[in-house]
Chain A
């Protein structure tokens, strides 16, 4: 059988994208190789490590477990788009302050997962934070610092509006 190509139309970080792809190309290869969006990392390529996390129609997904052609008509957001929009500022700052990254390979996926948690579970406990990020491997930090960073953002958001944190909160919600 002659190799097939599929015409694809989707939105990536707010921009419309059209491309012809092989059906076997998964979404992260498409983002990295065709659109040069290399912030989504490819680790295990079978859904275990979480480094390839992206948002599709505002839900967190594994970019390596979705075929590019399955993203037809969908709205994809990568770490590039989300950090540019400022939504991540609080978490990025917290990761820096708490030293929640060393080599940084897992960080884009970890930040997107943390953002998803902060958006949907503002009252998460430490245990719930650990559960939420359980699908994201980090081989440097031992997770403690990451949990601290995410917890600090949740705590800051619960405080009544005061100072600089408040504007970041409203920007994120």
Chain B
């Protein structure tokens, strides 16, 4: 299908983009890489009156070492994240997740800001941001807000972004020597949306799990922390069979998977356990 007609604006700076968003309010939509928005336009699932193409907003590009965090500009593409030495060294969970994001041609244009702002429940980055409790930085004419990932994702394609606000960057805390990352998802075709996925970060001490954050995606209207399962892992050696079994069992308290076109509730609940076992293996294996 073809998109409806819309009005196209291409501001040359972030200030210009923010001004346009303030002027047009809810009738304007931001166009970043377009890898989710353009299909939505083509399928007529989205029909904004005005598209504000932010590709010339240089302020939104690039990765920066901020000391204890890495700041990633909203327009940074998946391909740039995949090839970033900063990400590989300091955000291993993100580095593990990015190969699962769509396919090579889409990774060349899709952006981290676009993915986080869209908040697709089956997307990888929102879960990674939640697992690491990243900070999302948004800006509008009334200034800048910093929002923790725990407070940012509000529901199906719904975030704390207000009309007139634009996501400018995301800051991930750097992993320490005690942190271990694990990421896995099940999809019918590599690169397609997950049936069930898990982004996990655990803190280890002398081979034992001190704490873990297990962020599931494609099971609810937003990424979900499996706190009961994470509690079963804490205190036990990483990969300990009885702790793993207890954690898989505890998922029943954490998750009530929404059925979708790919799988029913029971299937997803079962696969959540499969994914957890595979991710725990990674936590134990990574040094």
Q: Nearest chain A CB to B105's CB is how many angstroms away?
A: 5
With a cutoff of 8 Å between Cβ atoms, the chain A residues found around residue B103 in the complex are 50, 134-136
With a cutoff of 8 Å between Cβ atoms, the chain B residues found around residue A65 in the complex are 34-35, 38-39, 106, 109
Binary interface encoding of chain B residues 108-125 relative to chain A, with 1 for a CB under 8 A from any of its CBs, else 0 = 110000000000000000
- A62 CA to B102 CA, complexed, in Å: 12
A83 contacts the other chain (CB 8 A): no
Closest to B38 in A: A65
Interface size class of A (residues with CB under 8 A): 20 to 34
Decide: B105 and A70 in contact? CB cutoff 8 A. no
Q: Give the size of the chain B interface in residues (CB under 8 angstroms).
A: 33
Decide: A6 and B1 in contact? CB cutoff 8 A. no
A sample of 5 more A-B contacts (CB under 8 A), given A62-B106, A67-B53, is A4-B7, A22-B5, A24-B4, A134-B189, A135-B104
B43 contacts the other chain (CB 8 A): yes
Decide: A23 and B42 in contact? CB cutoff 8 A. no
Q: Nearest chain A CB to B108's CB is how many angstroms away?
A: 5
Question: Count of A-B contacts with CB under 8 A?
Answer: 93
With a cutoff of 8 Å between Cβ atoms, the chain B residues found around residue A62 in the complex are 35, 105-106, 109
- Most A CB contacts (10 A, CB to CB) among B1, B42, B55, B190 go to B42
Q: Nearest chain B CB to A31's CB is how many angstroms away?
A: 15
Q: Residue A132 contacts which of B8, B42, B104 (CB distance < 8 angstroms)?
A: B104
Decide: A70 and B42 in contact? CB cutoff 8 A. no
With a cutoff of 8 Å between Cβ atoms, the chain A residues found around residue B34 in the complex are 65-67, 70
Some 24 contacts from A to B, beta carbons below 8 A apart, are A4-B7, A4-B8, A6-B8, A23-B5, A23-B8, A23-B51, A24-B4, A24-B41, A26-B42, A47-B38, A47-B39, A50-B103, A50-B105, A59-B109, A60-B105, A61-B105, A62-B106, A62-B109, A70-B31, A113-B104, A131-B99, A131-B190, A134-B191, A135-B102
B256 contacts the other chain (CB 8 A): no
B3 contacts the other chain (CB 8 A): yes
Interface residues in A115-173 (C-beta closer than 8 Å to B) = 116, 130-132, 134-136
Interface residues in A59-95 (C-beta closer than 8 Å to B) = 59-62, 64-67, 69-70, 72
With a cutoff of 8 Å between Cβ atoms, the chain B residues found around residue A14 in the complex are none
With a cutoff of 8 Å between Cβ atoms, the chain A residues found around residue B43 in the complex are 46
Q: Residue B5 contacts which of A24, A113, A116, A132 (CB distance < 8 angstroms)?
A: A24
With a cutoff of 8 Å between Cβ atoms, the chain A residues found around residue B106 in the complex are 47, 62, 65, 135
Q: Nearest chain A CB to B33's CB is how many angstroms away?
A: 8
